Amino acid sequence: MAEITGKKETKKPVIEIGDGPAIPRKTDVGLFTAWRFSFIGAIAIIAYLAISKPDPYLAILKFVPDGILVTFQVTIEAIILALVIGLFTGLGRISKNRIINGIASIYVEVIRGIPLLVQLFYIYFALGRVINLPAMVSAVIAMAVCYGAYMGEIFRAGIESIDKGQMEAARSLGMTSSQAMMHVILPQAFKTILPPIGNEFVALLKDSSLVSILAVSDLLRRGREFASESFTYFETYTMVALIYLIITLFLSKLVSIMEERISVD
Amino acid sequence: MSTDNKNTMVKLRNVYKYFGQLKALDNVSLDIYDGEKIVIIGPSGSGKSTLLRSINKLETIDAGQIIVDGFDICDQETNINKVREEIGMVFQSFNVFPHKTVLENISLAQTVVRKRSKKEASQISTELLKKVDILEKSNEYPGKLSGGQQQRVAIARALAMKPKLMLFDEPTSALDPEMIGEVLEVMITLAKEGMTMIVVTHEMGFAREVADRIIFMDFGAIVEEGTPEHFFKNPTRERTKIFLNQIL
């Protein structure tokens, strides 16, 4: 998952590797054409297959859109919840209160050390013995709790990237630390963290395919349902892969446009 | 200077502050009276800024007592935010809010802290922008302003709280030479209006013109204090003489 470095004074070289598709920037000619090649290519292949061999490709295309909606639903609900968790985690991580700081830090350490798939199983099957949550709710909670930890680090880095003179100026005017955070620090930090949040969104969308294991009818699950009935595994998973690819490429393009807009002002 | 009939605005008693091994403030005691203009000078690292920042508790002291406007700011019971409302601070690096327009910069704390209405805050902001002669930039973002203009916005922002005391922490040190004058001018006007001011600066011309009292610090301690007359004509301490020779 994408990490951002927060402290301005760190001069160590940073290797930035996100696990979404690399974000195309206009300056990066090779990548830009690679993005275009993949995006247009994926659409062209889908169109070609659907037209030239409607059975099963067109049938697959008609069957899976319900799943795309579920994938987006899980992703959007999880990201919103993750943002809330992340904000409080980030604030907790910079808190001078040892208990709050401790809780936030332990949360981040623990969650980042457990694979998302195991967390999904844990919330649905293990906790399911105590409180029986619907699959969809379990899925959203597990994804949000997991991504909240990563978001927390993004928020922390974003807040720490703001010059400390800003906080001092706000506090000198008599603002409480939460007023200063709300009116001065977070609005500025938000600009810095918007692109990494966009990357997390893309990463979360891909990871949301894991929820198909909990019998949530997302894109992957719908594909599996179709394939197991028609025995067209190759055809179905090809289409599923291409659809995921188009969605993530499209979203990372949006992130890069957003990044450009922000850097303009 | 007869100070018997004046109220004490800031009172420091035996203040100590350490940064690790370094003694940043070494037994500093000082009284500053209503309406007084104090200029603090001294070599870098002498504790001038630390002293200033202790007065509004941006630095917490390790020993001693600081009383501002009657409040013991080291007392846990004291609401430091309330005390800070009455103390304006101007920084070397301006610290204007880059995501707010000039007008919003000045109005923000008025609405959030002083709970003034948006309209009232804007009115006050506009008047202050006139005063610091930057009204035409009201709707610009600070990024578009020169350093001198940003610092004048920062001064207006502090004044908008109607403070009883203004602290200036090397307000012209980060400025290009041609912009120093415009900022000093605003400060001189403010001084003439009777504002209580504590100014850390290397601008000796300003010190000579405005200061009621100059304080020379070195190694965290007050070495010498007196009127500009005393300072520039016959400083008594050897360290003061050496310092003044270096910078004049």
Q: What percent of chain B has pLDDT over 90?
A: 94
| Residues of chain A found within 8 Å of residue B95, distances taken between Cβ atoms | 163, 165-166, 168-169
Asked if B173 and B202 touch (Cβ cutoff 8 Å), the reply is yes
Asked if A181 and B92 touch (Cβ cutoff 8 Å), the reply is no
- Out of A169, A174, A183, the one facing B95 most closely (by C-beta) is A169
Q: How many other C-beta atoms are found inside a 10 Å radius of the C-beta of residue A145?
A: 19
Phi, psi of A173 (to 5 degrees): -85, 0
Q: Which amino acid is at A167?
A: M
Asked if B32 and B196 touch (Cβ cutoff 8 Å), the reply is yes
> How far are the Cα atoms of A75, A140, A226, B208 from residue A205, in angstroms, in the given order?
5, 12, 21, 66
Range of the domain at A257: 29-264
Domain at A216, CATH number: 1.10.3720.10
Asked if A89 and A107 touch (Cβ cutoff 8 Å), the reply is yes
In order, the DSSP letters of B116-127 are: --HHHHHHHHHH
Under an 8 A CB cutoff, do A174 and B161 touch? yes
Check if A8 contacts B (Cβ < 8 Å).
no
pLDDT at A6 over 70: no
- For the ranges A257-261, B128-132, B229-233, the lowest mean pLDDT is seen at A257-261
pLDDT at A2 over 50: no
- Asked if residue A109 is part of any domain, the answer here is yes
Measured between alpha carbons, how far is A170 from B108 in angstroms, rounded to an integer? 9
Check if A179 contacts B (Cβ < 8 Å).
yes
Q: Which of residues 30-49 of A touch B (CB under 8 A)?
A: none
pLDDT at A34 over 60: yes
Under an 8 A CB cutoff, do A172 and B96 touch? no
Burial class, A127, CB count within 10 angstroms (exposed 0-12 / middle 13-18 / buried 19+): middle
Q: How confident is the model at residue A73 (pLDDT cuts 50, 70, 90)?
A: very high
Q: Residue B26: its pLDDT value, please?
A: 96
- Asked if residue A80 is part of any domain, the answer here is yes
| Residues of chain B found within 8 Å of residue A169, distances taken between Cβ atoms | 89, 91, 95-97, 154, 157
In order, the DSSP letters of B166-229 are: EEEESTTTTS-HHHHHHHHHHHHHHHHTT-EEEEE-S-HHHHHHH-SEEEEEETTEEEEEE-HH
Asked if B25 and B54 touch (Cβ cutoff 8 Å), the reply is yes
How large is the ipTM? Answer: 0.93
Terminal Cα-to-Cα distance of chain B (whole angstroms): 26
Q: What is the mean pLDDT of residues A95-110?
A: 95
- Asked if residue A6 is part of any domain, the answer here is no
Q: How many other C-beta atoms are found inside a 10 Å radius of the C-beta of residue B145?
A: 18
Q: How confident is the model at residue A104 (pLDDT cuts 50, 70, 90)?
A: very high
Measured between alpha carbons, how far is A98 from A85 in angstroms, rounded to an integer? 19
Q: How confident is the model at residue A7 (pLDDT cuts 50, 70, 90)?
A: very low
d(CA A107, nearest CA chain B) in Å: 31
pLDDT at A1 over 60: no
- Asked if residue A14 is part of any domain, the answer here is no
Q: Residue A24: its pLDDT value, please?
A: 61
Mean pLDDT estimate for chain B: 94
Under an 8 A CB cutoff, do A174 and B84 touch? yes
Contact residues of B toward A, CB < 8 A: 56, 58, 81-82, 84-85, 87-89, 91, 93, 95-99, 108-109, 112-114, 141, 154, 157-158, 161
pLDDT tens digits, B17-54: 999 999 999 999 999 999 999 999 999 999 999 999 99
Domain count, chain A: 1
Q: How confident is the model at residue A23 (pLDDT cuts 50, 70, 90)?
A: low
pLDDT at B89 over 90: yes
The closest alpha carbon to B87, from B54, B65, B119, belongs to B54
| Cis check: omega of the bond before A54, within 30 degrees of 0 | no
Q: What is the mean pLDDT of residues A164-178?
A: 96
- Asked if residue A199 is part of any domain, the answer here is yes
Q: Residue B247: its pLDDT value, please?
A: 84
- Asked if residue A13 is part of any domain, the answer here is no
- Out of A163, A171, A183, the one facing B108 most closely (by C-beta) is A183
Candidates B79, B96, B97: best to mutate against A (most CBs of A within 10 A) is B97
- Asked if residue A148 is part of any domain, the answer here is yes
Mean pLDDT estimate for chain A: 89
Size of interface A-B (CB pairs under 8 A): 63
What does the block give as tokens for A151? 């978001």
| 3-class DSSP assignment, residue A186 | helix
Under an 8 A CB cutoff, do B95 and A176 touch? no
Give the DSSP H/E element, type plus range, for residue B9: strand B8-19
| Residues of chain A found within 8 Å of residue B141, distances taken between Cβ atoms | 265
In order, the DSSP letters of B29-84 are: EEEEETT-EEEEE--TTSSHHHHHHHHTTSS--SEEEEEETTEETTSTTS-HHHHH
pLDDT at A3 over 50: no
Candidates B59, B104, B108, B116: best to mutate against A (most CBs of A within 10 A) is B108
**Residues with Cβ within 8 Å of residue A19, at least 6 apart in sequence:** A1, A2, A203
Q: What is the mean pLDDT of residues B189-211?
A: 96
- Asked if residue A138 is part of any domain, the answer here is yes
| Residues of chain B found within 8 Å of residue A185, distances taken between Cβ atoms | none
pLDDT tens digits, B97-148: 999 999 999 999 999 999 999 999 999 999 999 999 999 999 999 999 999 9
**Residues with Cβ within 8 Å of residue A171, at least 6 apart in sequence:** A177, A180, B58, B81, B84
**Residues with Cβ within 8 Å of residue A221, at least 6 apart in sequence:** A67, A70, A212, A215
Under an 8 A CB cutoff, do B157 and A166 touch? no
| 3-class DSSP assignment, residue B89 | strand
- Out of A168, A173, A188, the one facing B58 most closely (by C-beta) is A168
Taking CA atoms, what residue in A is nearest to B98?
A188
d(CA A188, nearest CA chain B) in Å: 7
Under an 8 A CB cutoff, do A191 and B99 touch? yes
